[in-house]
Amino acid sequence: ALKIVTIGGGSSYTPELIEGYILRKDELPIKEIWLVDIEAGKEKLEIVGAMAKRQVEAAGLDWEVHLTLDRFNALKDADFVTTQFRVGLLNARIKDERIPLSHGVLGQETNGAGGMFKAFRTIPIIGQIIADMKVQCPDAWLINFTNPAGMVTEAAIKHFGWKKTIGLCNVPIGHRKVAAEKLAIPEEELLFKFAGINHFHWHRVWDDKGAERTDEVIDMVYGPQKTEDENHLKNIHSAQFHYEQLKDLGLLPCGYHRYYYIEDEMLKHSIEEFEKGETRAQVVKATETRLFELYKDPALNYKPEELSQRGGTHYSDAACEVIASIQNDKRTDMVVSTANNGTIQDMPYDCVVEVSALITAHGAEPYNWGEMPSAARGLLQGMKAMEETVIRAAITGSYGAALQAFTINPLVPGGTTAKTLLDELLYAHKEHLPQF
């Protein structure tokens, strides 16, 4: 029987996670689900935890759902540990977005200055969770969706030594659906290959006859045959990619590439949101309040439609599928953050990449990707070097490393801007950055 522990159980996404387990009840012999949170999230945990219990009961299942603030004891003999926590909650994200924008620099949850600070706050905590796991559940799998998911997963595997870690994101799921719809071919009949790093990956697609269809999808989604707005991500402004540039690249981009390929337009839009007091974190805070009002209703025992307003919709379901696939050696084809091991030839062997893989009983078995075209290779290597520097700063608390990361991040202008912004963010997030 399985014991699954979720760190950050008070998240508004928890009902989707529970729904995902219920949908897979025949594949998952669950006995206990433990939702772990901290004092600051206690009220959220109680509301969403009661909702989780109603969902399980309505499904006629006898699973135990436990709510606790005691992480160490909750982890005892866990089979799977999933992480969905946000250090400093949404108020910290508001600072990550608004402080850079007040300097005219992009502020975003996982990219640029904001993403680097989310890593600084989060990586030490994933280290503490792993230290507890080494004692309490040395054989457990760690399924991480805590952002920045790529860097957090790399820290878990490479620095804290938890090899049985898989990082997850929902972005590839949406891209698969869009391509299948455009080609009018069922998704299961297509072969997708994704490669890159979290929120910075590209993909190619082949049909069941073996013909590559990537170029046609570029035309249909971003080019002359474009019929509608293809952006499936609620949290990203739908600025238009430049078709000729994508065509030249020959790969499909991910939604987050907008911050790099059409940086000026994305920045302009973000500054407008900033001026209206409507950055994404501010909007999400209102959505979260509404969601928790719904969850308080003792009659509600299923995931409400309103949750699809969040950008992360589908990601908990992906987590459940990873667990089911490991548990049953299902070999489901999924896109995950995992050790490169030569999958992308242009990247270090021991770094974490986000790639298509079969999820087996021993974990992710990636599809070989090979080389990146030069137009993608340079950017990708630069982004990974920046990530490595962010992780080093997060673990050591080195100011020099943090300034280095800010200087080399493509979304932060180097020089005085980088230093002033770094100092301001370090001060604003002081309570969650004991290492600095």
The pair phi, psi for residue 288, each rounded to 5°, is: -60, -40
| Residue type, position 142, single letter | L
Window of 14-22, 168-176, 255-263, 298-306 that interacts with Mn ion by CB under 5 A? 168-176
Binding-site member from 125, 169, 307, 390 for Mn ion (CB under 5 A): 169
Question: Site size for ligand G6P, by CB under 6 A?
Answer: 14
Cβ closer to ligand G6P: 63 or 274? 274
C-beta neighbour count of 183 within 10 angstroms: 17
- Two structure tokens written together for 2: 């399985």
Is 254 a binder of Mn ion (CB under 5 A)? no
Window of 87-95, 206-214, 368-376, 410-418 that interacts with ligand NAD by CB under 6 A? 87-95
Is 231 a binder of ligand G6P (CB under 6 A)? no
Instruction: Give 72-76 contacts, CB < 8 A, sequence gap 24+.
Output: 72/132, 72/135, 72/136, 73/136, 74/5, 74/34, 74/36, 75/5, 75/132, 75/133, 75/136, 75/137, 75/140, 76/136, 76/137
- Two structure tokens written together for 356: 């298509």
Cβ closer to ligand G6P: 171 or 425? 171
256 given a catalytic annotation:
yes
Is 40 a binder of ligand NAD (CB under 6 A)? yes
| Nearest distance in Å: CB 370, ligand NAD | 26
Window of 94-102, 168-176, 262-270, 294-302 that interacts with ligand NAD by CB under 6 A? 168-176
CA atoms of 49 and 15, how far apart (whole Å): 9
Is 47 a binder of ligand NAD (CB under 6 A)? no
Is 165 a binder of ligand NAD (CB under 6 A)? no
Is 89 a binder of ligand NAD (CB under 6 A)? yes
Residue in the structure block whose two tokens are 């430049």: 242
Distance of CA 324 to the CA centre of its chain: 19
Q: Which residue is nearest to ligand NAD (CB)?
A: 41
Cβ closer to Mn ion: 78 or 169? 169
Q: What angle do CA 401, 91, 170 make, to 5 degrees?
A: 75
Residue closest to 112 by CA, chosen among 422, 427, 393, 432: 422
Q: Give buried/exposed letters for 326-363 (b at 16+ CB in 10 A, else e).
A: bbbebebbbbbbbbbeebbebbbeebbbbbbbbbeeeb
Of these residues, 13, 21, 256, 295, which one is catalytic?
256
Binding-site member from 47, 113, 149, 339 for ligand NAD (CB under 6 A): 149
CB contact at 8 A, 199 and 256: yes
| Nearest distance in Å: CB 36, Mn ion | 21
Cβ closer to ligand G6P: 75 or 335? 335
| Nearest distance in Å: CB 418, ligand G6P | 25
Residues whose CB is less than 8 angstroms from the CB of residue 206 and which lie 6 or more positions away in sequence, other chains included: 190, 191, 212, 213
Is 55 a binder of ligand G6P (CB under 6 A)? no
Q: What x/- string results for residues 98 through 117 when contact with ligand NAD is judged by CB under 6 A? A: --------------------
Binning the chain into helix, strand and coil, the percentages to the nearest 5 are 50, 15, 35
Cβ closer to ligand NAD: 319 or 344? 319
Is 334 a binder of Mn ion (CB under 5 A)? no
Ramachandran quadrant class, 89 (left: phi over 0; alpha: psi -120 to 50; beta: rest): left
CA atoms of 254 and 171, how far apart (whole Å): 8
- As separate numbers, helices (DSSP H) first and strands (DSSP E) second, the chain gives 16, 11
Cβ closer to ligand NAD: 213 or 310? 310
Q: Which residue is nearest to ligand G6P (CB)?
A: 311
CA atoms of 338 and 209, how far apart (whole Å): 29
Cβ closer to ligand NAD: 133 or 218? 133
Is 352 a binder of Mn ion (CB under 5 A)? no
The pair phi, psi for residue 183, each rounded to 5°, is: -80, -10
Cβ closer to ligand NAD: 165 or 214? 165
Is 119 a binder of Mn ion (CB under 5 A)? no
Binding site for ligand NAD (CB under 6 A): 7-8, 10-13, 36-38, 40-41, 44, 84-87, 89-90, 125, 145-147, 149, 168-170, 312, 315
- Please identify every residue annotated as catalytic: 256
Binding site for ligand G6P (CB under 6 A): 109-110, 147, 169-171, 233-235, 280, 284, 310-312
